[in-house]
A and B are shown apart, each in its own frame.
Chain A
Amino acid sequence: MSTLERVAAALGGVAHQSLEMRDGCPSIRVSPEDVLAVMTALRERAGFDTNVFVTAIDRYPEEPRFTVVWAFLSTTHNDRVRVYTRVAGATPRVASVTGLWPGTAYSERECFDMFGIEFEGHQGLKRLLMPKDYDHFPLRKDFPHQGIEPDRLYRQWDTRRRERSPLRSESEA
């Protein structure tokens, strides 16, 4: 039984847009609202027990703007599957799969940090690499590579630091 057949059998009766081989890997295209149902079938019926990554592709200025991609690995069958969905740029929102694969929590946080995709149902979706109060999503195509005021948070901190130590404040202000 090939991977494609196993995936197709597992997806029997579950709503999805397409299932085909792409680059030697079965790829499932789903609409955003069916994500959780498809994932549950993959986890429970096709034996995909490991999440490899969660990431996004920004197709700015196309609409729907983002493609969210998941890759899964089955350690018992030694094969992989890819799931993707298109979400709108204004409210990029998909269901979180942390309930099925707890390890996706970090990948989803990274994807949120870099693309601003909101994973509904994620416990504690916050910045992973960028500072806490950062207010841009750096991997979006409309973000300039030199950043928007990259030193803003540091300067804020620096102002507080100088207020705490008045000795040095006159010269460095």
Chain B
Amino acid sequence: MGSLKPADGHASDTGFFVTQVDWVVNWGRKNSLWPMPLGLSCCGIELMAMIGPKFDIARFGAEAARFSPRQCDLMVVAGTLTWKMAEAARTIYDQMPDPKWVIAMGVCSSSGGMYDSYSVVQGVDMILPVDLYVPGCPPRPDAVIDAILKLQKKIERERPFQLLLEGDAFDEYDSGTKRFLRAPNHAVPTTRSHEVLPPAGPRERA
């Protein structure tokens, strides 16, 4: 058995007990994500399709959509977020208990999309930390289900017990770019095993 607190305090060098507790906690968390459906416009319809029987995210334990943020841990921002709505969206995020994750569904919430406009937030990461961005206008429900599976992979790599010992890791706000960056503990690795490189373009072939 390893000690509760790693001797040298190094993040990756945790003991057997700690990693096993982490594994159990993560297993519980990833298989019972409760989504907060923040359906703001057209993407909300695809979100409903995803929760409904045809695509059925109950298969991944994430069907219990609750309209109270106090009962949720996965916020799905589905739709165009305006600056006027941003205060409400941030309040809902703040009301969700930790640990919580955010999926930006559709190009509108990922980057503002086609609304390069005075009234639309150019990506919800200007007001909240985002874990996963799903491209598409709207993304197909399968794409969002894929995002949930990726989020499950991401949750597997978290170290909840270690966080308990070392204190919380906050999400950083970069005032230069006006964007939130996810705290290091939540970071997605830069390469993914199934990543497929795009074929070389004409300029590279020549």
Asked if B190 is an interface residue, CB under 8 A from chain A, the answer is no
**Chain A 157-173 interface 0/1 with B at a Cβ cutoff of 8 Å (1 = within):** 11001000100101111
A146, A151, A154, A172: the one contacting B171 at CB < 8 Å is A172
Q: How far is the CB of B56 from chain A (nearest CB, A)?
A: 36
B84, B117, B127, B172: the one contacting A145 at CB < 8 Å is B117
B116, B171, B173: the one contacting A173 at CB < 8 Å is B173
Query: Chain A contacts of B90 at CB under 8 A?
Result: 158, 161
Asked if A12 is an interface residue, CB under 8 A from chain B, the answer is no
Asked if B86 is an interface residue, CB under 8 A from chain A, the answer is yes
Interface residues of B in 49-68 (CB under 8 A from A): none
Report the number of A-B residue pairs with Cβ-Cβ less than 8 Å. 50
Across the interface, do A145 and B83 meet the contact criterion of CB distance under 8 Å? no
Across the interface, do A153 and B83 meet the contact criterion of CB distance under 8 Å? yes
A131, A144, A148: the one contacting B84 at CB < 8 Å is A131
Across the interface, do A138 and B172 meet the contact criterion of CB distance under 8 Å? no
Across the interface, do A154 and B118 meet the contact criterion of CB distance under 8 Å? no
Q: How far is the CB of B28 from chain A (nearest CB, A)?
A: 25
Asked if A130 is an interface residue, CB under 8 A from chain B, the answer is yes
Query: Chain A contacts of B119 at CB under 8 A?
Result: 130, 138, 147, 150
A-B contact pairs, 30 of them (CB 8 A): A136-B118, A138-B118, A138-B119, A143-B118, A144-B118, A145-B117, A145-B118, A146-B116, A147-B117, A150-B83, A150-B118, A151-B121, A151-B126, A153-B83, A154-B83, A154-B86, A154-B87, A157-B87, A158-B90, A161-B90, A161-B91, A161-B94, A170-B170, A171-B170, A171-B171, A171-B172, A171-B173, A172-B171, A172-B173, A173-B173
Please give the residue numbers on chain B whose beta carbons come within 8 Å of chain A beta carbons, in ascending order. Answer: 83-84, 86-87, 90-91, 94, 116-119, 121, 126-127, 170-173, 178
Give 13 new A-B contacts, CB below 8 A, not counting A145-B116, A147-B118.
Answer: A130-B119, A138-B118, A138-B119, A146-B116, A146-B117, A147-B119, A150-B118, A151-B83, A153-B83, A171-B170, A171-B171, A171-B173, A173-B173
Q: Which 7 residue pairs across A and B have the least CB separation, nearest first?
A: A147-B118, A171-B170, A172-B173, A154-B86, A150-B118, A157-B87, A131-B84
